[in-house]
Amino acid sequence: MKEYELIVVGSGAGMNVVAKARDKGLKVALVENWVMGGTCLNRGCIPSKILTYPAEMIRQIKHAKEIGINAKIESVDFDLVRKRMWELVLRDRRGMEEGVAADTGLDFYHTTARFIAPYTLQVGPEQIKAPKIVLAIGVRTYIPDIPGLRETGFETSESIFDIQVLPKSLIILGGGYKACEFGHFFSAFGTNISIIGHNPRLLPREEEEVSDLVLAKMTEFANVKLNQEVISIRKGEKGKVVVIRDRTTGDVKELEADEILLTTGVQSNSDSIEPEASGIRTDAARYIAVDDHLETNMPGIFAIGDVIGRTMFRHTANYHAQLVWINAFAKNKVKLDEHAVPHAVFGYPEVASVGLTQSAAKAQGIKVLVGLSQYIDCAKGYAMGEQDSFAKVVVDMASYRIIGASAVGTNASIMVQAMVYLMNAGDQTYIPIARSQTIHPALSEVFVNAFGNLHDPDHVHVHEHEQQ
């Protein structure tokens, strides 16, 4: 049995903890059963954004006509896009592999880790033990039990980046961010796209106005069907057939396409590590249960990232890694703070948000002020011809604390990030915006205007003539 000061399982955000521990000279074991770098690098954020950026350029070129440029796209080069994507992914992966191989204080086990006793893991033929263990083992695509799905075959986010040729048509099952991002990319590159969502809304966790605008825009380049049940899937004459039923009307329809992409949800990877053998508790969906310090019920064993089943983003996993490093080795522990978790959807239009939506705040009984502003109402937004894009803010009525912010349109992710910083600064109010000069004319003015438009949504002033 080999003993370490720290064992980390999973080389995604887990690598952040490994790096800190090695900086301090701890004796560390890293276990990874797949390629180095985890989902973000190999099958997630990074390759998907190398796809969505050229797609955004295509949309911009098409939109340019509205502001006085008549441009034509001669052709698109998917081979080059693929090449650029794999160049970066493989370069970063290789860099990590070399770093790990060169580090003599770090033992790397390229295999599946499985608990056999408290604080003890089986790794291939060997057994390893440590008083501190960090589980950063992520999630994988959940394969729903749809009759005919497995027999017919399908792609997932784990397999789609390997395709060599663009499908002529693609049915995307799911209505979340992956459906929007892949739908954006494939449709921009000429694939005929259908998006089949179960929820009545696209991006159901966003503000309703945001979902509505994304739906309206996506409908311009994809056949979007929401509130649908997938009844069965089979091989058709030309491709793959998906049979759907409208959950309201009961209407049954068949769609056929070259390929199906499943984006309907994820499941925890905790099954592979057999946490029960170490006495580690999981929740009903098998996500690893942790306390406010990201510690499991077994002292010294922590879990971070997607496998705790909360907000599944790489920046969240990075934040968890930072916290766990402190909580595992420093004197004073730090509590998890989830009040300002941001995210973006790099579809078309781009969406970003942080904190609570208006309806989520209402459900928590918080009295709020809301403010909304269109891009077009500031000079830069007008110059860009961003007709429908907007930002929305949700502010606590009593304290003026910002409790939520969203934007939908160009650079939404950059604009919302400013709100994230404010939500983590001082008294977390929007007052610093009122005190600041805002570069003019820039898109930052959209959020300034949104705060300027704050009002009580439950007391909308109705003019006399509107009441008649």
Task: Please identify, using beta-carbon distances, which residue of 34 and 78 lies nearer to ligand FAD.
Answer: 34
Smallest gap, in angstroms, from Cβ of residue 48 to ligand FAD?
4
In this structure, the dihedral spanned by the alpha carbons of residues 276, 282, 288 and 292, taken in order and rounded to 10 degrees, is -120
- The reply to whether 272 sits near ligand FAD by the rule CB under 6 A is yes
Task: Please identify, using beta-carbon distances, which residue of 138 and 349 lies nearer to ligand FAD.
Answer: 138
Sign of the four-CA dihedral 192, 198, 200, 206: negative
Binding residues among 109-128 for ligand FAD as defined by CB under 6 A: 112-113
- The reply to whether 282 sits near ligand FAD by the rule CB under 6 A is no
Q: Looking at 9-17, 58-66, 186-194, 292-300, which segment touches ligand FAD (CB under 6 A)? A: 9-17
Smallest gap, in angstroms, from Cβ of residue 177 to ligand FAD?
7
Measured CA to CA, the distance from residue 220 to residue 62 in angstroms comes to: 12
Q: Looking at 7-15, 362-370, 413-421, 459-467, which segment touches ligand FAD (CB under 6 A)? A: 7-15
Task: Please identify, using beta-carbon distances, which residue of 174 and 409 lies nearer to ligand FAD.
Answer: 174
- The reply to whether 20 sits near ligand FAD by the rule CB under 6 A is no
- The reply to whether 268 sits near ligand FAD by the rule CB under 6 A is no
Residue in 18, 39, 370, 451 binding ligand FAD, rule: CB under 6 A: 39
Task: Please identify, using beta-carbon distances, which residue of 154 and 313 lies nearer to ligand FAD.
Answer: 313
Smallest gap, in angstroms, from Cβ of residue 91 to ligand FAD?
18
Q: Which single residue is written with the structure tokens 């204080």?
A: 105
Residue in 51, 56, 138, 389 binding ligand FAD, rule: CB under 6 A: 138
Q: Which segments of 166-282 does DSSP mark as H helices, in order? A: 177-188, 208-221
Residue in 21, 28, 33, 327 binding ligand FAD, rule: CB under 6 A: 33
CA distances from 381 to 63, 97, 104, 417 (A): 14, 45, 54, 18
Structure tokens at 54: 């050229």
Residue 439: Cβ-neighbour burial (10 angstroms; 0-12, 13-18, 19+): exposed
- The reply to whether 133 sits near ligand FAD by the rule CB under 6 A is no
Residue in 28, 44, 100, 241 binding ligand FAD, rule: CB under 6 A: 44
Measured CA to CA, the distance from residue 331 to residue 334 in angstroms comes to: 10
- Number of amino acids touching ligand FAD (CB under 6 A): 35
Smallest gap, in angstroms, from Cβ of residue 343 to ligand FAD?
7
List of residues 6+ apart from 318 with CB closer than 8 A: 13, 16
Structure tokens at 181: 């991002």
Residue in 8, 32, 134, 155 binding ligand FAD, rule: CB under 6 A: 32
Nearest residue to 130 via CA among 300, 290, 293, 298: 300
- The reply to whether 349 sits near ligand FAD by the rule CB under 6 A is no
**Angle between helices 45-63 and 177-188 in degrees, nearest 10:** 50
Task: Please identify, using beta-carbon distances, which residue of 214 and 376 lies nearer to ligand FAD.
Answer: 214
- The reply to whether 301 sits near ligand FAD by the rule CB under 6 A is no
- The reply to whether 280 sits near ligand FAD by the rule CB under 6 A is no
- The reply to whether 261 sits near ligand FAD by the rule CB under 6 A is no
Measured CA to CA, the distance from residue 293 to residue 324 in angstroms comes to: 7
- The reply to whether 43 sits near ligand FAD by the rule CB under 6 A is yes
Binding residues among 306-345 for ligand FAD as defined by CB under 6 A: 306-307, 312-315, 317
Q: Looking at 37-45, 233-241, 294-302, 445-453, which segment touches ligand FAD (CB under 6 A)? A: 37-45
- The reply to whether 17 sits near ligand FAD by the rule CB under 6 A is no
Q: Are 153 and 240 in contact (CB under 8 A)?
A: yes
Nearest residue to 19 via CA among 111, 125, 136: 136
85: helix, coil or strand? helix
List of residues 6+ apart from 362 with CB closer than 8 A: 368
Nearest residue to 107 via CA among 91, 123, 90: 123
- The reply to whether 13 sits near ligand FAD by the rule CB under 6 A is yes
**Cα atoms found within 13 Å of the Cα of residue 387, Cβ hemisphere only:** 7
Q: Strands, DSSP E only, in 35-119? A: 106-109, 113-117
- Chain Cα centroid distance, residue 283: 22
The footprint of ligand FAD (CB under 6 A) covers: 9-14, 31-34, 38-40, 43-45, 48, 112-113, 136-138, 157, 178, 269, 272-273, 305-307, 312-315, 317
